[in-house]
Structure 1
Amino acid sequence: MTSRKSHRPGSTDASATPVEGASSPVPQGLQDPALLRRLLRAKDRMDSASHEAWPIERLAAVSGASKAHFARAFKLAFGLPPHRYLLTRRIEQANTLLRDTELSITDIAYATGWESLGTFGRIFRDITGMSPGAMRKQAQANTQPLERVPACVLKAAQRPDLNIAVLEKRRQTADGKVGPSTKEVS
């Protein structure tokens, strides 16, 4: 008589091995170099055209995986779900355009892939803590010392923290709790 493996939450499977930095075991399929290459291909496509719509169906087609498998594997590989990763890229690009160009905020919103100026402003404020106009004023006021810093270093330093969902950030600030990006350093 063969025994059946338990697939209850929290149980481990012999085919799962832990990955450095991950809190849970990673399915064997994620260690497949071909899958990782396909995930990187989807990530690169989002990077190069973050202004375009990237529904999960399109990303899954690029990576040659099912929608559910792609979403799980992407989060395990890169630490963020695909939608949050795309939001991060769009906010980074908007920050760069606000800092380096004289485009109107409306033009920046549409150029970075937002379909609504209101949605852009709300999400931008939720993630960065500032409105796009306030961010532009602050960036332009601080241009002198930052002119010598390479753009790639500036982008990394200004990358928004999206380890938690935007709605959760909103709830935390509404409850009066300090969000992860606004914790005071002692």
Structure 2
Amino acid sequence: MPTRPADALHLRDLARLRRVRDRIDREYAQPLDVEALARGVHMSAGHLSRQFRQAYGESPYSYLMTRRIERAMALLRRGDLSVTEVCFTVGCSSLGTFSTRFAELVGVPPSVYRRDAANATQGIPACVARQVTKPVRNREAPAPEPDLA
């Protein structure tokens, strides 16, 4: 049974989106923007953003920042780099933007995470630790309780 042209087009777009996602996963620490990602798969930036969000539930930029924050969390848990060093190591160029996005996804600022999480995963297998420490997307991190005492 031959595939319809629309199905073939859809499959081709999905393959392109997967290449974009794989590139983000691989090159998260490099300067990436939606226009460059789109050029790499011969799409317009707008079309890429719409299709990526439809396929993966978030924009390419949001996916990139999530990858960067995941890596930052691992580096901060190690404890041998400052927050500023981690910020630049994962590809962020603004400490303020990095700290804001980190707090949105993780629920605490990177300095607090570094202080509190350094020993949090000791003795836990890496495959479990990665799942437990994965950042929450789309501002779903619970807001810290105010200290009223």
Q: TM-score, normalised by structure 1?
A: 0.66
Unaligned runs of at least 5 residues, structure 2: 1-5, 144-149
Quote the Cα distance in structure 2 between the aligned partners of 1:107 and 1:66.
34
Question: Are 2:79 and 2:114, in contact at CA under 8 Å, matched by a contact in 1?
Answer: no
Give the structure, 1 or 2, with the largest relative contact order (CA under 8 Å, sep 6 or more): 2
As a proportion of its length, which structure holds more helix? 2
Equivalent residue number for residue 132 of structure 2: 157
Q: C-alpha separation between the residues in 2 aligned to 1:31 and 1:99?
A: 44
- Counterpart mapping for 1:1-186 below 5 A: 32-146=10-124, 149-150=125-126, 152-163=127-138, 169=139, 180-182=140-142
Q: Is the 8 A contact 1:30 1:36 kept in 2?
A: no
User: 1:38·1:62 contact (CA, 8 Å) conserved in 2?
Assistant: no
Is the Cα contact below 8 Å between 1:94 and 1:112 reproduced in 2? yes
1:156 corresponds to which letter in structure 2? Answer: Q
CA distance in 2, matches of 1:58, 1:29: 26
Mapped to 1, the partners of 2:12 and 2:78 lie a distance apart of 38
Equivalent residue pairs, number: 138
Q: Which has the larger radius of gyration?
A: 1
- Report how far residue 56 of structure 1 moved: 1.3
CA distance in 1, matches of 2:45, 2:7: 15
Question: Which runs of 4 or more aligned residues in structure 1 lie more than 6 Å from their structure 2 counterparts after TM superposition?
Answer: none
> Offset of 1:30 from its aligned partner?
9.0
The one-letter amino acid paired with 1:142 is A
RMSD: 2.2
Q: Counterpart of 2:142 in structure 1: which amino acid?
A: T
For the residues of structure 2 that align with 1:68 and 1:138, how far apart are their CA atoms?
Answer: 40
SS of aligned partner of 2:58: coil
**Identity, % of aligned positions:** 35
